[in-house]
Amino acid sequence: MRRSFDKIVPPRVVLRMASREKILVALSGGVDSSVAALLLKQQGHDIVGAYMKNWINEDNIIGDCPWMQDIEDARAVADKLGIEFRVVNLMQDYRRLVVDYLLDGYQRGLTPNPDVMCNREMKFGVFLKYAQTEGFAAVATGHYAQRRAIAPNQFGLFEGADKNKDQSYFLALLSQEQLQAARFPIGHLPKPELRRLAAEAGLPTAQKKDSQGICFIGEVKMQDFLRAYVPEHPGPIVRAADNQIIGEHRGLHYYTIGQRKGIGIPSNTDNKAYCVVGKRTEDHALLVAFDEPTAPGLWTSECRVHSLSFVNAPIIEATTLECRVRYRDPRVAIDFIPTGNGTAEIKFCTPQRALAAGQIMALYRGEQLIGGGVFA
């Protein structure tokens, strides 16, 4: 007998499904996806749980990559809910679509975002196609984001209700077609409420800590991951103000724009700290400056983005929007000026610190995510 969803969440956020759906739930072994499956089961949907086997740390990278434990935790959740459980091997696709993108970006001096690419290419790409081939209508994940109908046969993507956990930024490159087949059952919940529901239902992941790793690679530090796959290419550390060499680095891929710690250059006599302000690929120079408002290259008022993607209709005329330049950053106002061929000029109302080529910019109208692009 179907349990009433009204009993689980406050009336103001009750979500009623128009009809029973066959949904494949991406069970990662964490509490968020576990509760996503729980809620869909309680709503009466026909669900199956599946673990995406993307990476198994076969090269013995230093760090904790607990894929076997995650599979067992996901299986235990499925058993508790009384649903079928599958392990879907997508390792070759993940290496090709996410890992190669990550490594190629760092080798070219860029700052790629594997989590955004994993969502577009894997969860709502390869995994979604697998689900559709198997007869599922949709794929559900444990993202803190909300999908709402905004017009006939059109859906909008909105921030999660818990602003401390909102993950809409990581969905910035999804298409309307992908969103139509996506389900985000926990997007209306605050994290403490989600934990409470998990404990109340006796889910084995109720107290499991959240993963902080690289997408599905696990608790592996980025530097350790890069050290295993990208050859070191030492070069000079150059003071941007006068082009003076003041040290040597191990490889540009180990550093990010705005980085202060771990550069290997001590503060000056006035105790001013250096930070990274640029990378010069032609001579493999790491550019540094004192971390001040006048530091060359550290603050940006205007930039260009490419590879624009929109959830709904593309923006073809200049307009005012908001954007996030990083996951944890607040939304900031911008002038968005399309320049054709999937590119645009961006003018920030307030200068932004430490923007790096290859980073993802997420575009918003209020709480609605409308798309994203890549910093040039």
pLDDT digits (tens, 9 = 90+) for 128-175: 999 999 999 999 999 999 999 999 999 999 999 999 999 999 999 999
| Mean pLDDT, all residues of the chain | 91
Listed residue (315, 274, 316, 323) closest to 295, CA to CA: 274
Catalytic residue, candidates 65, 215, 275, 323: 215
Residue-level pLDDT at 55: 81
> Does the residue 196 lie in any domain?
yes
Same domain, 30 and 101: yes
Catalytic residue, candidates 118, 275, 303, 323: 118
Q: Which of 12-21, 308-317, 342-351, 366-375 has the lowest mean pLDDT?
A: 12-21
> Does the residue 148 lie in any domain?
no
Distance CA 51, CA 86 (A): 6
Same domain, 114 and 213: yes
Which residues are paired to 248 by β-bridges? 236
Listed residue (148, 132, 215, 135) closest to 183, CA to CA: 148
Distance CA 279, CA 306 (A): 20
* pLDDT over 90 (residue 367): yes
> Does the residue 3 lie in any domain?
no
Same domain, 76 and 212: yes
* pLDDT over 80 (residue 49): yes
Residue-level pLDDT at 6: 37
Distance CA 100, CA 224 (A): 16
> Does the residue 2 lie in any domain?
no
pLDDT digits (tens, 9 = 90+) for 179-192: 999 999 999 999 99
Task: State which amino acid sits at residue 29.
Answer: G
- Which three-class secondary structure state does DSSP give residue 17? coil
If one counts the domains in the chain, the total is 3
CB 41 within 8 A of CB 65: no
CB 68 within 8 A of CB 53: no
Q: Could you tell me the two tokens for 266?
A: 């001590």
- Which three-class secondary structure state does DSSP give residue 319? strand
Same domain, 244 and 219: no
Q: Could you tell me the two tokens for 110?
A: 């860029």
Residue-level pLDDT at 213: 58
* pLDDT over 80 (residue 35): yes
Distance CA 22, CA 137 (A): 6
Helix intervals (H) in the chain = 31-42, 67-81, 91-94, 100-107, 114-117, 127-133, 176-180, 191-200, 222-229
Same domain, 75 and 210: yes
Which residues are paired to 355 by β-bridges? none
Residue-level pLDDT at 369: 98
What is the number of other CB atoms lying within 10 angstroms of the CB of residue 210? 9
List all residues 6 or more positions away from 26 whose beta carbon is below 8 Å from its beta carbon: 33, 50, 51, 52, 123, 127, 139, 140, 141, 142
For residue 276, the surrounding DSSP H or E stretch is: strand 274-280
pLDDT digits (tens, 9 = 90+) for 61-72: 555 557 889 999
Same domain, 190 and 323: no
List all residues 6 or more positions away from 263 whose beta carbon is below 8 Å from its beta carbon: 237, 247, 249, 255, 274, 275, 276, 286, 288
Same domain, 57 and 128: yes
Quote the domain boundaries for residue 362: 300-375
Taking CA atoms, 368 is separated from 35, 184, 259, 271, 289, in Å, by: 24, 15, 31, 43, 37
CATH code, domain carrying 316: 2.40.30.10
List all residues 6 or more positions away from 100 whose beta carbon is below 8 Å from its beta carbon: none
Is residue 215 flagged as an active site residue?
Answer: yes
Helices 67-81, 31-42: inter-axial angle, 10-degree rounding: 20
CB 337 within 8 A of CB 318: yes
* pLDDT over 70 (residue 5): no
> Does the residue 152 lie in any domain?
no
* pLDDT over 50 (residue 7): no
Same domain, 260 and 344: no
Same domain, 137 and 238: no
Same domain, 283 and 327: no
pLDDT digits (tens, 9 = 90+) for 68-93: 899 999 999 999 999 999 999 999 99
Residue-level pLDDT at 127: 98
| Residue 169: DSSP 8-state | G
